[in-house]
A = this chain, B = another copy of it.
């Protein structure tokens, strides 16, 4: 059985300074907004954050950046219309950035959860993002060697969980959740609803509970929709 936390502060307890935190979500879909807020409140510092983006507006990941708790961001697309919080910190040299092509980012996270030591990917060969990476020719095609991205913690938003920690998602909110859940030592999930045991069809479970440590029920944050 998974731990069902009573609130988000309890759900994120124990995140150490210096942790690598995998944060699900693509844009605001599947973003674990309430858990990010709780991490901000926890005061954990010196974090490495892995997310597809680097925050929007002034809430969520941007608020965590603004509070100076993030040392490094690993993402595919930091630059957005309203990524001014990140932009300013980056230009001031106050946050490090590792840009990873989105598919390599996803595969590196999957590799961490799947126990793959490293893999060869064709994406980014011959580009500036290949600098310093090993190249290998396989069957006449060039590939880069990429290593897993492991998290100390994963923060995931799903739609519903059962008491085993099994998860289902909603539409494109699924995105990084299933792979991040497997790639971290501690996986914390916020859901709209915790259903009773037997409330999820075993055929439709997307993330088996084996990957989940703590679940907390939250309403989708109002700012998630209009921030």
Contacts and interface: CB of A to CB of B under 8 A. Distances in A.
Interface of A: 107, 111, 114-122, 136, 138-139, 141, 143, 147, 168-171, 201-204
Tell me how many chains of this kind the complex includes: 2
Contact of A115 (B118, B122, B168, B201): B122
A135 to B, nearest CB: 11
Nearest to A205: B204
Contact of A203 (B107, B119, B204): B204
Given A117-B122, A117-B143, A118-B138, 15 more contacts: A115-B121, A116-B119, A117-B120, A117-B136, A117-B141, A118-B119, A118-B120, A119-B119, A119-B120, A138-B147, A169-B203, A171-B203, A201-B204, A203-B204, A204-B204
Contact of A116 (B120, B169, B170): B120
Contacts of A147: 138
A221 to B, nearest CB: 22
A107 B115 CA distance: 11
18 contacts: A107-B114, A115-B122, A116-B120, A116-B121, A117-B120, A117-B121, A117-B122, A117-B136, A117-B141, A117-B143, A118-B136, A119-B120, A138-B147, A168-B203, A170-B203, A171-B202, A201-B204, A204-B204
A175 to B, nearest CB: 14
Contacts of A169: 203
A177 to B, nearest CB: 13
Contacts of A143: 117-118
Contacts of A111: 119
Contacts of A107: 114, 116
Which interface residue of A120, A121, A169 has the most chain B CB atoms within 10 A?
A120
Contacts of A119: 111, 116-120
A148 B198 CA distance: 38
Contacts of A201: 204
A168 B203 CA distance: 9
